[in-house]
Amino acid sequence: MISRRDFLQATVAASAIYGASGVGNWAKLAAQQALTQDQLLDFDTFGNITLIHVCDIHGQMKPVYFREPEVNLGIGAVNGLPPHVTGADFLKMFNLTPGTPEAYALSYTDFESLAKGYGRMGGLDRMATVIKSIRAARPDALLLDAGDTWHGSYTCLKTNAQDMVNVMNLMKPDAMTSHWEYTLGVDRVNEIVETLDFPFLGANVFDNEWDEPALEPYKFFERGGAKIAVIGQAFPYLPIANPSWMFPGLSFGVREERMREVVAEVRAAGADLVVLLSHNGFDVDRQLANQVDGIDVILTGHTHDALPEPVLVNKTMLIASGSNGKFVSRVDLDVRDGQLMGFRHKLIPVFSDVIEPDKEVAAAIDAERAPYIDEMSEVIGHTDSLLYRRGNFNGTWDDLICNALIEEREADIALSPGFRWGPSLLPGDPITREDIYNATAMTYPNAYRSEMTGETIKTILEDVADNLFNPDPYYQQGGDMVRVGGMGYHIDVSKPQGERLTKMTILKTGEAVDPAKTYVVAGWASVREGTEGPEIWDVVENYVKRQGTIQLDPNTSVKVTGA
């Protein structure tokens, strides 16, 4: 474990630059239970360049609860390194006090009780207040969006993402990159991009037919007397993790050699500062920083990690800014003579009860939601359990979805994808139609029902496990382990592909899964074109209506070793 002081000393020693971060005062303020907007936004302006980083908002225009993961395993060399530290270990690593605002915002520890005290987080209108405050101090600050913005809510689905486009435009981003945006379909993405006042970047996005770049790879900005190159990196595994038929003709990939060439190109063109706006995911970006010289800052997204300090890899800083609008990162940089000489950083928590909504953006949000408010506000049921999604193996939202699939589709086993998006609900909360869509809203939602042998089920789970636990970060394709209902198993994450899963058991009978036997399996979010079945939100809504109140037992069906 390292302390903040050790981290900063290591940063100085390794890079010969000096950094400072704004987390330390939170604990003092929390002792008084007296957070104010001025305190949250306080920042000692530094240097000549300011970057503002947002990512993985997933269509959430209103404040939400979002529980951080209880389990976030690091494989191989990154075991025990941020972001693969959770709960009390996370608080200890960053010298944060339990029970304080930062403990609530950054970890799952005592989440339910702290949520009742500190309230919801995020909201685009509150984010706008933060962003405008930063720009008031530094008018030429760059607002950079790492993607997963046009996806993940009722209104985003119903408007084909126009709601998020309209509201985000009011905040005037300077550039963005992408991932789930492409599940709108490539034609819709191109249609939106043509209307934007800022570049939609992707150095790793290529046209298959001509094997040439399909998007702008980078954009130059002149700020503070320095020339800044912002390079975009879209999610590299889109054709694997999402339906490739939705964006035919495009290829992605990490493209390390391509990144090396682009960095060299912008340096040759006079870049004083090179910023990578990335949706690779944290460990892929850490590997890329190890392999490619010349990147000063990586603003990383996709894996939803929120870190109160930058992580230094060689001479590259990685900034992780969480998800669902919970945080906005501010990074001030001193760039002189073509070199980064120092920085100050603050991960700003967007406490919705503390930060005043921006009136212009709040009005725009209400206008976008107004046509749908009655339908999406309908209460479908209630929950006596905390509903959350994050964690490598289990999330209660997906336990609920799996239960619904088994009952509604008359299945033996249910599979729910290990998505990381979807806000949380507290015990005692109503479950509205909007809440259900927040956990399911996507453009390939059909709930299939099929027959699979035990051997096939194991093969599917082994493939997914390798996408998550392969020791080479470039083979880790994001997300968490597929959630399984009706079946338990043991997994040794240290084993090679094909050998990780054992003791697969049907929970209802206690019988071992027979490789040769056929089972009825229900699931959703298949990447296969033409998948048939009811939409998953209807499956869940019907189940919740019949249950009335959701009460979930602790899920102990997955036993993990080798971590």
Pairing of strands 226-233, 413-418: unpaired
The residues pairing with 327 across neighbouring beta strands, listed in sequence order, are 349
542-553 residue pLDDT tens:
999 999 999 999
Pairing of strands 142-145, 175-176: parallel
Least confident of 19-33, 366-380, 385-399, 430-444: 19-33
Q: Per-residue DSSP letters for 450-516?
A: EEEEHHHHHHHHHHHHHHHH-SSGGG--SSEEEEEESEEEEEETTSPTTSSEEEEEETTT-PBPPTT
Q: What is the pLDDT of residue 76?
A: 87
Q: How far is CA 393 from CA 389, 430, 511, in A?
A: 10, 25, 22
Helix (H, G, I), strand (E, B) or coil at 419: coil
Record the pTM: 0.94
Alpha carbon of residue 503 to chain centroid: 31
From CA 341, how far away is CA 15, in angstroms rounded? 9
With cut-offs at 50, 70 and 90, classify the pLDDT of residue 25.
low
Write down the mean pLDDT value for the chain: 93
From CA 407, how far away is CA 418, in angstroms rounded? 20
**485: phi then psi, degrees, rounded to nearest 5:** -110, 145
Least confident of 221-225, 272-276, 553-557: 553-557
Phi-psi region of 228 (alpha: psi -120 to 50; beta: other; left: phi over 0): beta
Token pair for residue 184? 């709108």
Least confident of 19-28, 29-38, 65-74, 293-302: 19-28
Contact between 463 and 548 (Cβ < 8 Å): no
Alpha carbon of residue 480 to chain centroid: 11
- Average pLDDT of 319-328? 98
For the chain, percent of residues with pLDDT exceeding 70: 94
139-177 residue pLDDT tens:
999 999 999 999 999 999 999 999 999 999 999 999 999
Please name the residue that has the structure tokens 């494989």.
Answer: 75
User: In the chain, what are the domains?
Assistant: 4-367 (3.60.21.10), 377-561 (3.90.780.10)
Token pair for residue 115? 């949520």
With cut-offs at 50, 70 and 90, classify the pLDDT of residue 476.
confident
278-304 residue pLDDT tens:
999 999 999 999 999 999 999 999 999
Evaluate if residue 28 carries a pLDDT over 70.
no
From CA 182, how far away is CA 300, in angstroms rounded? 18
- Average pLDDT of 76-96? 94
Contact between 1 and 316 (Cβ < 8 Å): no
- Average pLDDT of 59-67? 98
Evaluate if residue 275 carries a pLDDT over 70.
yes
Nearest Cα neighbor of 89 from 74, 77, 25, 479 is 74
- Average pLDDT of 310-314? 97
